[in-house]
Amino acid sequence: MKKIKLSSLEYPVVLRKVLNEIVISVPDLGFWKSVRLSEESDTRNSAKTSKIDSDFQISEDMLRGVLEGLKQTWIYVDEHLSEKKWIPEPSTFRQTIQKSEVKDFTLPEFTEALSKHMSISENTVRREIKRGTIQCYQTEGGHRRIPFQEVELYLNRRNTKNEVPV
């Protein structure tokens, strides 16, 4: 079997802003590196910044840091590819970034979704949220939103809890 020489540029690289860092990752190889963004350089060089969105501006210093992190990532991936005997194929998918079609439930919607599988009231759901059995978050207006996946998770927890060991 012939080993195919792959380039580090063939693997997808993901850049994400997480808190005050840019995380550079190569998911196919399980590699990640974070580059800290300094807020001080952002305020000092405000004339040299470009606005990305309403909450985030990137200065030339930050951009240099991200580019250096990207360069180090590619160097690491090249070294990894030359040292390993088994190398995964690079991902070939092309995906556009878009918001999910599935929206989180309101409290009444969540109760309705559960009522298809069991008899439950909104007050019971509220108690389960308070206990931490059902995860939720609150909107700016104070309304509860329950992630779509919680229906399945809650039903699985209930089923495993009600199973009797033999």
Q: What is the pLDDT of residues 72-86, one digit of tens each?
A: 888 888 888 788 766
The pLDDT of residue 64 is above 60: yes
Same domain, 74 and 137: no
For 89, counting Cβ atoms within 10 Å of its Cβ (0-12 exposed, 13-18 middle, 19+ buried), the class is: exposed
Name the band, by pLDDT with cuts 50, 70 and 90, for residue 47: very low
In a domain, 29, yes or no: yes
Same domain, 68 and 32: yes
**Highest-confidence range of 34-38, 50-54, 97-101, by mean pLDDT?**
34-38
Residue 26 belongs to what domain range? 8-83
The pLDDT of residue 124 is above 90: yes
In a domain, 22, yes or no: yes
The stretch 6-31 carries a mean pLDDT of: 80
Same domain, 123 and 74: no
Contact at 8 Å (CB) between 58 and 49?
Answer: yes
> What is the three-class DSSP state of 82?
helix
Domain end among 25, 49, 83: 83
Same domain, 15 and 79: yes
What is the value of pTM for the model shown? 0.44
For 155, counting Cβ atoms within 10 Å of its Cβ (0-12 exposed, 13-18 middle, 19+ buried), the class is: middle
Same domain, 21 and 74: yes
In a domain, 149, yes or no: yes
Q: How many whole angstroms separate alpha carbon 133 and alpha carbon 122?
A: 14
The number of distinct structural domains making up the chain is: 2
